[in-house]
Amino acid sequence: MKNILVVDDDPEALDFATFVLAPRHEVRTVASVGQCRAELQTRKPDLILLDAMISDLGDGLELTKELKAHPDTHAIPVVMITNVNRVYDYREEIDASYFPHDRWLDKPVKANVLLKTVEELLARDNAPDELPPRRRP
């Protein structure tokens, strides 16, 4: 069972993520960037679901840059969840080196899409760094 940290200031989004993921994973939820930082001090998650526009405009974006720049958290997969793309799809404009993340999901997220995304990233995280040598017949 993997440990998922959900960071969102919308209680319904936290409840939804918990409902979808809790049957397969341990789910912890926080409602602010500050709470996320505090939670990361106690236990590192296997994956983070993060609202791109939590609290103030851009707080999720800034937190992701911090996470990916820090040696203790850089390898944790981060899934950005946002509904901003309905107005302006800024993903097209942001360079990956400026804004590192592992996957985008648009709100409202469908349960099957959320679960599939989480499972894919966790499987990738558990993949061996090198494939074993092939045996010759």
Distance, CA of 100 to CA of 66 (rounded, Å): 9
pTM over 0.85: no
Predicted confidence at residue 103, as pLDDT, reads 87
Angle between helices 33-42 and 59-69 (to 10 degrees): 30
Predicted confidence at residue 4, as pLDDT, reads 98
Distance, CA of 36 to CA of 50 (rounded, Å): 10
Task: Report whether 56 contacts 26 (CB < 8 A).
Answer: no
What would you report as the CA-atom Rg of the chain, rounded to the nearest whole angstrom? Answer: 16
pLDDT in tens, the chain (137 residues): 999 999 999 999 999 999 999 999 999 999 999 999 999 999 999 999 999 888 765 688 889 889 999 999 999 999 999 876 554 455 555 555 555 678 889 889 999 999 999 999 999 866 544 444 444 44
Angle between helices 111-126 and 11-21 (to 10 degrees): 60
Distance, CA of 42 to CA of 95 (rounded, Å): 31
